[in-house]
Amino acid sequence: MATHWMIYGANGYTGHLLAVEAKRQGLTPILAGRNPATVHALGSLLGLECRVFDIQQPERAKEALSDIAVVAHCAGPFSATSAPMIDACLASNTHYVDITGEINVFEAAHRRDQHARDLGVVVCPGVGFDVIPSDCLAACLHQALPDATHLALGFDSGSGLSPGTAKTSVEGLKYGGKVRRAGVITDVPMGYKRRAINFGRGEKPAATIPWGDVSTAYHSTGIDNIEVYLPMPPAAAIVMRLLDPLRALFGLEVVQNWLKRLVEKRVTGPNETTRARQRTWLWGEVRNAAGVVKTAQLETANGYDVTVHGALLAVRHLMNYQGPGGYFTPSKLLGERCVEQLPGSTTIHIS
């Protein structure tokens, strides 16, 4: 039986943070990625075993995972890397978790549910800030109002961006906004809806964004209508709406490459001092057909710290896992209040 676990993409911003914290906790992940120099440099620094392989080479990837019980997949953009890593995990009977927040990636992972069930392999994307805290809010709100027909979620954070997150945001520009309507993920303009929300530190104007919960909260709760909000000045929301017709332009390869080069030059990711300062406030609301409304609030550490500790929580859970395989959301795998176990998180308050 496999007893090792792996961080793939350990040389990226979040993978590096995860490796350092794992080592601090006395864990011994195998560090992996496709860049020999950076992977081995981190391995030497932390005294951890390294493996270098490209997940686009299926046989090599299967072989590299043959003795691995759990992979924490941290190498984005997940739109390109999630499917081949899930393939490799299913081929090697390895549990899969990742830190994606991309709706399309969640939906693609969900389509592997039956195959994963048949093999007894867990596929659980989104075990970071995307989407543990908001998924827990959704699940707790559904418990509080089981006949809810509408769910809104949102967060207020100054967490800053890592290079990988910034590149994923660039990729997302071409897709526009997304909400779930009558059970179906639906294209809408960017900044489609606006409302005032108290996320936990006073009321702020907010607008809808295409966040991962549009996919995952549905699989966690079965609620048919889902929106996710981010604080946004009204002027910014209006500019987003005006730019919406230019989405095709943002999808052009030349524009994408130019924007990603800007990211590489200018984005480094927040340092430890900055992360300690930048906490996150989350809010959720459900309502049913009779007009009954319940709201939930939660405060967590910085998004990147939530991601590191969320991924470690998922890995520890799966290293001793005896349950069924299949696709899971974080609240389905780890419990609807699992976020409360993470350092810096408050309890979920429902009113």
**Domain positions in the chain:** 4-129+304-335, 132-302
- Quick one: pLDDT at residue 2? 76
7-30, pLDDT tens digit by residue? 999 999 999 999 999 999 999 999
Q: How many residues does the chain have?
A: 351
What class, spelled out in words, does domain 4-129+304-335 have in CATH?
Answer: alpha beta
| Whole-prediction pTM | 0.90
* Lookup: tokens for 314: 């998922």
Q: Which of 166, 163, 131 is nearest to 280 (CA)?
A: 131
**Which amino acid makes up residue 293?**
V
Query: Which residues 6+ apart lie within 8 Å of 184 measured at CB?
Result: none
Lowest mean pLDDT among 31-40, 43-52, 80-89, 249-258: 249-258
Q: Domain spanning 132-302: which CATH class is it, in words?
A: alpha beta
Q: How far apart are the first and last CA of the chain?
A: 46
pLDDT over threshold 60, residue 47: yes
How wide is the angle at C-alpha 133 spanned by C-alphas 127 and 138, nearest 5°? 110
Look at residue 293 and tell me whether its pLDDT is greater than 90. Answer: yes
Structure tokens, 72: 């924490």
Residue 231's pLDDT band, with cuts at 50, 70 and 90, is: confident
Rounded to a whole number of angstroms, the CA Rg of the chain reads 19
Dihedral of alpha carbons 335, 157, 272, 164, sign: positive
Identify the residue with better confidence: 171 or 102.
102
Q: How much is the pLDDT for 254?
A: 73
Residue 298 has pLDDT above 70, yes or no: yes
Alpha-carbon separation of residue 327 from 120, 140, 143, 255, 279 (angstroms): 10, 20, 21, 35, 30
What is d(CA 233, CA 88) in angstroms, rounded to the nearest whole number? 43
Closest CA to 172 of 263, 43, 272, 91: 263
